[in-house]
Amino acid sequence: MAVKVRFAPSPTGKLHVGNIRTALINWLFARRAGGAFLLRIDDTDLERSTAAFERGIFEDMAWLGLSHDETAKQSERFARYDAVAEDLKARGLLYPCYETAEELERQRKIQRSQGKPPVYNRAALALSDAARARLEAEGRKPHWRFRLSGETVRWDDAIRGPQGIETASLSDPILIRGDGSYLYTLPSVVDDVDFGISHIVRGEDHVTNSAAQIEIFRSLGATPPAMGHHPLLVGADGGKLSKRLGTLAIADLREREGLEPMAICALLAKIGTSDPVEAVRDLDQLAAEFAFEKIGRAPARFDPAELKALNARLLHETPYEDVAERLQALGIDAGEAFWNAIRGNIETLADAKAWHEIVHGWIAPQVADEDRAYLAQAAALLPEGPLDAQSWHDWTSALKRESGRKGRALFLPLRLALTGRKHGPDMGALLALMDRQTVMTRLTA
């Protein structure tokens, strides 16, 4: 079977880490199998879908490196959905229902009080033509339900293993609303058939939906795609993440947090699997290591702190040539030696700006009163001429002999005076990057 998968976001909001984890699993599976990846825009909700959110989807996917082989838009395919719907109606598989939302809720309450599952009772199937005409004359517009077989639908899930759902325990799903608009289910099935989707891989909250959709596939004379349902994301504490997903939009992680796309992809690809979470520099490696068998059954824990730590590790291992253009875009044109000196002390690329200012700009040196004489002595002993990789060793060796200081008392006053910080990159590497006059100015500030 040729592998073809799809990621089908709705342009009604920003993509977040939950969306992208599903997209990533599909993308990695397709690349590992040499298959195709379809990016489908599910914009049947015309009122809530916007062009801005649609552009955001393409921008986020491109930034993450999740390229697509094909694209499709559901809003351009309504004629196709209408034709399928009319065929299902003609065969009695799609039937009109006239209950209001309040009447349906009342029906469910009665069923619960009787200890019965709140499943639609199919009362609409018993309506005569005259009864339907009377309801429509009252102004009621029907919604349309797909008639399930009542049989057990079985499939071998790529992640969860053998599955079986009794459709008799489900309400016949509504496919068309009273206003004539489509819910997700029918357009999705029609698209999966028409675009030749081989595997549907999504969150485990769709397991029950899959049983109904498999029956719709069969009603269209199509073989259902293979199914795979992965566990959902939870917070670091194991609690629900759904309410916080709005604060974890990919655009915000990029623009506000300044995170690296591969940090996001590496974390989302590995959490909830048997593989360790580690800094990975390209998607090809993630694809080579991907397997459904590695995905566990427990919810995957997403920790923003772990993401930031992984982002830092990734930058610490990133060579200069991979960030040179981006550093220049930040106004940093300091070369490879600067990057190699500071990369181990940044969490995001934007942090490099502060270290560039420390090396080449103006800072407020931190000088304790008791260290002023020591720093004056340090200024007098600073090696002559341009500073280089040997200067720090020679300088501190001379200071140790002349001042009698050692350890923290020897090094920390120099670091505070030259960088304004207690911690940071190797001082030997930083000193070699600094102008001699800048060093003297800070020592005698």
Give the pLDDT confidence of 192-215 residue by residue, as tens digits.
Answer: 999 999 999 999 999 999 999 999
Q: Judge whether residue 258 has pLDDT over 70.
A: yes
Residue 352 burial class via C-beta count within 10 angstroms: exposed 0-12, middle 13-18, buried 19 and up: buried
| Confidence bin at 219 (pLDDT 50/70/90) | very high
Structure tokens at 37: 């990846």
Predicted local confidence at residue 333, as pLDDT:
87
Angle at which helix 372-381 crosses helix 408-419, to 10 degrees, equals 80
What CA–CA distance (Å, rounded) separates 189 from 176? 14
Residue with the bigger pLDDT between 4 and 1: it is 4
φ, ψ of residue 156 to 5 degrees: the values are -95, 100
Q: What distance lies between CA 38 and its chain's CA centroid?
A: 17
DSSP 3-state of 346: coil
Predicted local confidence at residue 240, as pLDDT:
82
**DSSP label at residue 240:** B
What CA–CA distance (Å, rounded) separates 332 from 185? 51
Q: Judge whether residue 262 has pLDDT over 90.
A: yes
Amino acid at site 22: T
Task: Give the DSSP per-residue string, 360-396.
Answer: HS-------GGGHHHHHHHHHHSPSSS--TTHHHHHH
Structure tokens at 122: 């199919």
Of 298, 303, 248, 310, the residue nearest 273 (C-alpha)? 298
| Confidence bin at 241 (pLDDT 50/70/90) | confident
CB atoms within 10 A of CB 436: 15
Q: Judge whether residue 243 has pLDDT over 80.
A: no
Q: Judge whether residue 283 has pLDDT over 90.
A: yes
H-helix segments, 227-371: 250-255, 261-270, 283-289, 304-316, 320-329, 336-342, 352-360
Average pLDDT for 95-102: 95
Predicted local confidence at residue 349, as pLDDT:
97
Q: Judge whether residue 104 has pLDDT over 80.
A: yes
What CA–CA distance (Å, rounded) separates 260 from 238? 25
**Mean pLDDT, the chain, integer:** 95
Task: Give the DSSP per-residue string, 391-436.
Answer: HHHHHHHHHHHHH---THHHHHHHHHHHHS-SS-S-HHHHHHHS-H
